[in-house]
Amino acid sequence: MKEFYQISGEESKQRVNGTLEPLTMEEVKKHQEKYGPNELVEGKKKTTIQIFLEQFKDFLVIILIVAAVVSGFLGDAESAAVILIVITINAILGTVQTVKAEQSLSSLKKLSGPEAKVLRGGNIIPIPSAKVTVGDIVMLDAGDYIPADGRLLESASLKVDESALTGESLGVEKNTETICGEVPLGDRINMVYSGSFVTYGRGSFLVTGIGMETEVGKIASLLKSTSEKRTPLQINLDQFGQKLSIIILVFCAILFGVNVLRGGNIGDAFLFAVALAVAAIPEALSSIVTIVLSFGTQKMAKEHAIIRKLQAVEGLGSVSIICSDKTGTLTQNKMTVEDYYVNETRVPVDQIDIKRPAQSMLLLCSVLCNDSTNVDGVEIGDPTETALINLGSRLGVFAQDAREKYPRESENPFDSDRKLMSTLHTIDGNHVMIVKGAVDVLLNRMKSIQIHDQVRDFTEEDRRIIEAQNQEFSKGGLRVLGFAYKETGDRCDLTLEDETDLVFVGLISMMDPPREESKAAVAECKKAGIRPIMITGDHKVTAAAIAKRIGILEQDSEACEGAEIDHMSDEQLKDFVEGISVYARVSPEHKIRIVRAWQEKGNIVSMTGDGVNDAPALKQADIGVAMGITGSEVSKDAASMVLTDDNFATIVKAVENGRNVYRNIKNSIQFLLSGNFGAILAVLYASIAGLPVPFAPVHLLFINLLTDSLPAIALGLEPHSEDVMEEKPRPMNESILTKDFLLKIGTEGLSIGITTMIAFMIGYRQNALLASTMAFGTLCTARLVHGFNCKSDYPVLFQKRFFNNIYLIGAFVLGLVLITGVMMVPGLHSIFKVQSLSIGQLFTVYGLAVVNLPVIQLIKAVKQAYRKRK
C-alpha cells in the first residue's frame, strides 16, 4: 500500500475517513474509542506503596531502625516498638505529602497542556491536543505545535521546524503536492509530524497517526525524561542539610563517647545519640519546600498564572524588571476603529461613506487582507483584524460575502518582524494584491496614491502629510494600520518581493484602551522596587501615549525604537537600558538583547511574549511569561509561566505570590531550625553542667517526627499578605541562610532552650524522671507556641493576623492534645518515659512554654523599631 505522502490529500481523506467530508461529532467519538488518546505513554508512575517504601530509604530512618533493633536486643521492647510506630506514622505523613504534591503538580501540567484547532461539525474549535484523533482536520498557524502526524491539505507559505525529529534546525517549506517514489522523512514535504511546530504561514492537515503511532511516538523512549528538576532553593537547602547533618553526627558521636566514658550504659548512650541526631537534623527541609511550592502554584493557577517550571516560583520573588508587551497585556485588546484617513482627510468612523470609491476600497482592503472571522458573535483571530471586519459588518460589507466574491489566491502572512501582510484576489477581472501593515514600513514601498477614483504619483509631500497624520493618531494612543494595493498582471502567486511599488489608499486608526487594572499594577510594581518596561511592536508615539497613561513612562525621552539599539554594542546597551521605559517597533531579537542587558546588570528579568519568534527571548528571561489566550503554543512551551488572562496585573500578583511563598518557606525553616537548636542547647547545657540527660530518646522522636511536622507545613500555608510588596526584591544570589536569619534562629532557639532547662531544673528538685518529663513537655509545647512567632518577622501578637492561619491553629491544638495526653494519661507513661504531673506542674510547663511568645515577640518589636530608625 502506498504511503500517505505518495497519494493526494483527497485520497488520504477517503482512505482514513471513507469520505471527503470532515468528521462528524459521532465519527470523532468512534475514532477516539478506536485509536485512544493522542498521548505518548510516559514512563511508569510510582505507586503509593512505592512512595511509602521510599520513605524508609532515608539515612536517618535507617539509623532509627537500627536503633530500634539495638534496643530490642537490649531488652527494651517498648522503646523499639515506639520507635517503629513513630517511624511508620512519619512515613505515612511523608507519603501523603508526596502524593498530594505530585497530584497538584500533575493537575497543573494538565492546565497548561497544548491545544490544537480542529475542524469539527463544520466549525473550527480549539481542543486539548490529547483529544485530536485520526481523521481530524487540524488548522495550523505560525507558532502552533503540530499535535499529530498527517497529510497536508492546505499550505500558505507554511514552514515547519522539524528539528525535534530530524535535527534539521532550518524551517522546512511545506506544500501539498503528491510525491512519487520513496523519500526519507525529512523530504516528505507534504506531511507534518507531531512534535514539530509552525514557524511561518498557515495550513491544514488530515491526521493520519496519533500518540505512540506517530513518528515521535516510535522514538518516544529516546526522548529526554520530563522529571521535575530540583529548584535552586531545594538544592541550597539539601547542601545546607548535608553539612549540618555531618556536624550534628560528629557532635552526637562525641556526646556518645562522653556518656560512655562517664560510665553510662552503652545501649542507652547509643539510643540517646541517635535520638538527638534525629531531633537536630532538619531532614524535612526540602520536602517542606516541595509542599509549599506546590501549594503556591495551586493558588497562582486560581489567580490566572500557571507555573510551568517550579523554579519560577522562587525566581518571581527576586524579579526586579518586568518587560511587558503592550497589546492585550497592558491594554484590553478590544479594538474598535475610530477614524479613516483617505483622500488626504481624516474621516471619523460615523462619517464613513462607502459610496465614495477610495473609502469603499479601504474598507474592502481591510476585510479581504484579514484572517479574522466573526460567526454569530464568536470572534476568532487577531483583535486588530476583528475590529476591521466588525466595522465592515456595521457598514454592510460582510467579510464572508466579500471573501466568497473575491477569494484569496495567494498570500504573504503577517509576521511581526516584517510588520506587513499581503493577499492576492481577482477584483473586476484583475489580479490585485492588497497590503496592510505598520505605516512607517508601508510608506517606504509606495509608488502611487489613490485620491477619490484617481491614481497619481506618490510624492515626498504625500509622505510628509501621511506621516504627520500618523503621528497625530498615535499621540492619542491610537493604533494605526496603513493600506495599499497593486495590480500584479498575470501573476497569481505572491512573494515578499512583490510588496513594493504600491498604491496608497489610506490609514485606519483603532483604539485599544489600557486595562483598568494596569495603572494600579504599575504603581504596585514601583512600590515593590520593580521596574516595569513596555516592549511593543507598535508605533513609538502610540506606545508612549499609552505608557504615560498607565504610569510606565514619565518623560518622552524614556521611549525609543528598537532600531536605535541595532548599532549599539552590548556594553553600550547596558548603559542605555537604564534610561528607557518604552521600546517601540521592537523585533524579537531586540527583546533578547534587552533581557540580556538587564541580566548583566544583575537583575532578575521577567519578559512576556506571544509569537513564535518570542520563544528565544522567553527562554533567555529568568521568568518567561506567555499569553494563555493569544499566545502561540511555541511561546507557551518556552515560558516558565502562562497567564490565562493575558493580563499584566496577573504578573504583578504572581510576583506577590512568589514573594509570599518564599517568605513562608523561610518561616517554616526558621521554625524547624530554631526548635531543633533549642533542644540541642538544652542537651548541651545538661551535659556541660553534669546533669542527667534531659530527654529520653522517645521524647525527641515524638517531637521531631510528630508534633513538629504539622506546624512547619502549616507555616508554609500561611495566608499571603500584601506587605511583602513593600520590600525591595530579594537579591538574586542571596542564600536563604543569611547572617540575620541564623541570628534569629540562634536567639529564638536560646529562648526555647532556656525555658526548657528551667522546667528541667524545677522538676529536678524532686527527681530526674519528673525533670525529664517537664523538660519534654516544655520543649514540645514551646515549639508548638513558637509556630505563632514564626508567622512573621514583625510582632503580630496583638493583631488579627495572629489567628489567621487555621492550619497552624489546628496543628497547635492537635499537638497540645497529644503532649498533654502523653503527660497526663497514666497508661502512656511507661511507653513515653514520663511520670504523672500535678495540675500545678502541668501549668508550670504550659506557662514556661508560653513565655517564649512575649519574649520573642518583644525581640521582634525591638528589631522592628531599630530597623525603622535606620
Binding site residues, ligand ATP, CB under 6 A: 325-327, 382, 384-385, 414, 416, 419, 421, 436-438, 481, 536-539
Is 23 within 8 Å of 131 (Cβ atoms)?
no
* Nearest approach, Cβ of residue 676 and ligand ATP (Å): 51
Cell numbers of 598, please? 538587564
Q: Closer to ligand ATP at the Cβ: 198 or 421?
A: 421
* Nearest approach, Cβ of residue 194 and ligand ATP (Å): 28
CA dihedral over 535, 541, 544, 550, signed as positive or negative: negative
* Nearest approach, Cβ of residue 587 and ligand ATP (Å): 8
Q: Closer to ligand ATP at the Cβ: 336 or 416?
A: 416
Which residue type, as a one-letter code, is found at position 621? A
Which residue type, as a one-letter code, is found at position 225? S
Catalogue the E-assigned strands of 325-399. Answer: 336-342, 345-348, 373-375, 378-380
325 counts as catalytic:
yes
Q: Closer to ligand ATP at the Cβ: 322 or 669?
A: 322
Q: Are strands 531-535 and 582-584 parallel, antiparallel or unpaired?
A: parallel
Which residue type, as a one-letter code, is found at position 190? N
Letter string b/e over residues 228-260, b meaning 16 or more CB atoms within 10 A of that residue's CB: eebbebbebbeebbeebbeebbebbeebbeebe
- Which residue's Cβ lies closest to ligand ATP? 537
Q: Closer to ligand ATP at the Cβ: 630 or 687?
A: 630
Q: Closer to ligand ATP at the Cβ: 82 or 546?
A: 546
* Nearest approach, Cβ of residue 368 and ligand ATP (Å): 12
Map grid coordinates 523538660 to a residue: 775
3-state SS of the chain: helix, strand, coil percent to 5?
55, 20, 30
Is 633 within 8 Å of 614 (Cβ atoms)?
no
Distance between CA atoms of residues 845 and 827, nearest Å: 20
* Nearest approach, Cβ of residue 412 and ligand ATP (Å): 10
* Nearest approach, Cβ of residue 390 and ligand ATP (Å): 14
Distance between CA atoms of residues 164 and 196, nearest Å: 6
DSSP string, 271-325: HHHHHHHHHHS-TTHHHHHHHHHHHHHHHHHHTTEEESSTHHHHHHTTEEEEEE-
Cell numbers of 212, please? 505512540
Q: Closer to ligand ATP at the Cβ: 510 or 673?
A: 510
CA dihedral over 752, 756, 762, 765, signed as positive or negative: negative
* Nearest approach, Cβ of residue 479 and ligand ATP (Å): 6
Q: Closer to ligand ATP at the Cβ: 38 or 536?
A: 536
Map grid coordinates 527571548 to a residue: 617
* Nearest approach, Cβ of residue 372 and ligand ATP (Å): 9
* Nearest approach, Cβ of residue 562 and ligand ATP (Å): 10
Angular region, 151: left φ>0, alpha ψ -120 to 50, beta rest:
beta
Q: Closer to ligand ATP at the Cβ: 118 or 443?
A: 443
Catalogue the E-assigned strands of 355-511. Answer: 373-375, 378-380, 408-415, 420-427, 430-437, 446-451, 454-457, 478-487, 502-511
Q: Closer to ligand ATP at the Cβ: 324 or 835?
A: 324
Among 325, 462, 538, 637, which one carries the catalytic annotation? 325
Catalytically active residues, by annotation: 325
